[in-house]
């Protein structure tokens, strides 16, 4: 079986042409872009992004993002670099050519995203948010002490 690949429009872009050629070669061998859609979902969720937010970052509608997240999705090569940049991964990781190692859980990513939004508030509002968080944490730390006091009183 001949696996030679003919010229593509991506050959003029050395890095992108190489990535797409490698991905096509792997697809022919049976493991190509399989799992691209679920991989995009995993990366997007790990970054705490919605489909709409990812779409805004790469200049697409959330409908197109939903399409790319399907199991059989094969996005155009021109979208790989913007998607990888928005998801803060390499194109190899996006294509499944290199393993993706993410240590942040989706819940943590959402929390980090909210903290970044708090950074955009005025200094006064930031202090108010921090006071509220500190009060909640102090209350949480006090709960075990209150529970012990109640048990001892009985």
- 34: closest CA among 64, 89, 73? 73
Q: Which regions of the chain are under pLDDT 70?
A: 1-34, 102-104, 146-149, 151, 153-154
Which pLDDT belongs to residue 3? 52
Which pLDDT belongs to residue 28? 44
The whole-model pTM stands at 0.51
User: What is the spatial distance between Cα 13 and Cα 70, in angstroms, rounded to a whole number?
Assistant: 27
Output the CATH code of domain 9-95. 1.10.260.40
User: What is the spatial distance between Cα 45 and Cα 109, in angstroms, rounded to a whole number?
Assistant: 8
Which pLDDT belongs to residue 87? 93
Which pLDDT belongs to residue 31? 43
**Cβ atoms < 10 Å from Cβ of 33:** 20
Which pLDDT belongs to residue 100? 75
Is 144 strand, coil or helix?
helix
């Amino acid at each position: 079986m001949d696996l030679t690949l003919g010229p593509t429009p991506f050959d003029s872009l050395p890095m992108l042409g190489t990535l797409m050629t490698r991905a096509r070669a792997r697809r022919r061998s049976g493991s190509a872009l399989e799992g691209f859609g679920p991989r995009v979902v995993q990366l997007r969720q790990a970054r705490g992004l919605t489909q709409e937010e990812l779409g805004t970052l790469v200049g697409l509608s959330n409908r197109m993002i939903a399409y790319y997240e399907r199991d059989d999705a094969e996005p155009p090569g021109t979208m790989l670099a913007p998607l990888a940049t928005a998801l803060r991964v390499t194109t190899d990781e996006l294509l499944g050519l290199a393993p993706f190692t993410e240590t942040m859980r989706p819940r943590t990513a959402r929390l980090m995203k909210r903290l970044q939004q708090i950074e955009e508030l005025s200094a006064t509002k930031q202090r108010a948010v921090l006071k509220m968080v500190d009060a909640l944490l102090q209350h949480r730390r006090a709960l075990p002490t209150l529970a012990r006091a109640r048990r001892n009183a009985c």
